[in-house]
Amino acid sequence: MNRKEAIQIISSTIGKEIIVSANGFISRDLFEINDNENNFYMIGSMGLASSIGLGIALKKPKKRVYVFDGDGNILMNLGSLVTVGFLKPGNLIHFILDNNSHESTGGQPTVSNVIQIEKIAKVSGYKIYKVKEKSELKKILTEIEKVSGPILIHIRIGKSHASSKRVTHNPIYIKNRFMRSIN
């Protein structure tokens, strides 16, 4: 499974829910596959998708908040895992699309082949799911519908050079559209 396939499966399964997507190829893929007003594309501030998602989850406890994160991204803000684990938002679902690389900058390696990010999340208080195959991903997305969070779904993806177009919306437009939709 590559990154785009994983994003395709998740966004078509969960439907129109609140999504915060990490900068780089992840936001670009989501934009290309399923652009809508419930997506907050974080185009800068690498590492902070999970923190933005946490802030929304705490203030919108009746809605589920999905974070589309990468291994490079979460490694820049590991502290986020302990803050989420401490605050325990039941409505936060955190996907880590792990290709063991900084794909958006040319595929340089991260340490996630040796250090298991999901284990750090587990000791921080997340419920953990691990996925490799498309069929498993679909199954787990159904399974977690009634599970209370915080949930971390670690998806091992292959490297993929196919990149989507840039997010062409203006950031202020992204924000205003998102706020109108969720509030």
Query: Which is nearer to another protein, 86 or 106 (by Cβ)?
Result: 86
95 binds another protein (CB under 8 A): no
The rounded distance, in Å, linking the Cα atoms of 119 and 168 is 36
DSSP string, the chain: --HHHHHHHHHHHH-S-EEEE-TTHHHHHHHHHH--TTEEE--SSTT-HHHHHHHHHHH-TTS-EEEEEEHHHHHTTTHHHHHHHHH--TTEEEEEEE-SEEGGGT-EE-STTTS-HHHHHHHHT-EEEEE-SHHHHHHHHHHGGG--S-EEEEEE-------PPPP-S-HHHHHHHHHHHH-
Q: Which of 10, 26, 30, 56 binds another protein (CB under 8 A)?
A: 56
52 binds another protein (CB under 8 A): yes
90 binds another protein (CB under 8 A): no
43 binds another protein (CB under 8 A): yes
Contact 25, 104 (CB under 8 A): yes
Query: Which is nearer to another protein, 107 or 171 (by Cβ)?
Result: 171
34 binds another protein (CB under 8 A): no
50 binds another protein (CB under 8 A): yes
Smallest distance from another protein to CB 117, Å: 16
Q: Which of 34, 77, 160, 164 binds another protein (CB under 8 A)?
A: 77
Which string of x and - marks every residue 121-160 that binds another protein (by CB under 8 A)? ----------------------------------------
38 binds another protein (CB under 8 A): no
Q: Beta-carbon neighbour count of residue 32 at 10 Å? A: 16
* Total binding residues toward another protein, as defined by CB under 8 A: 34
Give contact residues for another protein (rule: CB under 8 A).
Answer: 20, 40, 42-45, 47-60, 77, 79-80, 82-83, 87, 171-172, 174-175, 178-179, 182-183
